[in-house]
Amino acid sequence: MPEPEAAAAGAADAEAPLADEIARVPVTSSDVVFDGYIWDVRREAFEYGGETLRRDFVDHPGAVAIFALDDDDRMLLIKQYRHPVRRREWEPPAGLLDVEEESPLEAARRELAEEVDLEADDWHVLTDYVTTPGGNNEAIRIFIARGLHATASAFDRVGEEADMELRWVALDDALDAVLASRVQNPSLVIGTFAAHVSRQRGWSTLRPANDAWPAHPRFRDSATH
């Protein structure tokens, strides 16, 4: 069967590995039009395809999520209230990259301790993703953490974190919940699929904990030590 004709924009190299491409377009203006409590709305003008385009988007600091696994490949999940969707949803421990000069790994260690009072001896990158590339620049890195042990002291939790529930969940049970749409947190959904496939491949897809992160503007040009 012949291949479909290439789109008018041109055909990609079919032999090259499938990968997104960083595009460094000229930005002619960039202004915060809404200064939010946690994130902002930014308006930018940029040159693309011989014309000037303008877009508004949520300017987000990015985040990390942690799949904390025990020796039986059970993950520790939390149930937390999320106001925009009016749901108490199951999700992995996670948090914003909102501390200046903090690396993703350092942020993940901090969030694991603050949310579930755990530390981990072994860290790897499971996968990265961008949540809504047409509307914000949020990039999330999901870590696998093993060698778990309790922190020296428990953290006080307030707001939506004050009534969090904790539950150890087998990876296969999490996959069933994802496929049935009983759980819909994006880090849980994407991470569960990635972890399930990685386990099938002997965890050979895991990457170093300080692996480069080109999708996040703060870490685009260097390893994330």
Residues with active-site annotation: 161
> Which positions ≥6 away from 88 have C-beta within 8 Å?
79, 80, 81, 82
Cβ atoms 127, 199 nearer than 8 A: no
Cβ atoms 53, 129 nearer than 8 A: no
Which pair of tokens denotes residue 124? Answer: 């790897």
**Distance of alpha carbon 172 from alpha carbon 161, whole angstroms:** 27
- Positive or negative, the CA dihedral 211, 212, 216, 217 is positive
Cβ atoms 77, 69 nearer than 8 A: no
201 dihedral zone (left: phi>0; alpha: psi -120 to 50; beta):
alpha
> On the CB side of 221, how many CA atoms lie within 13 Å of its CA?
1
Largest CA distance in the chain: 64
Q: Report the amino acid identity of residue 59.
A: D
Which pair of tokens denotes residue 212? Answer: 């480069």
Cβ atoms 110, 102 nearer than 8 A: yes
85 secondary structure, DSSP code: G
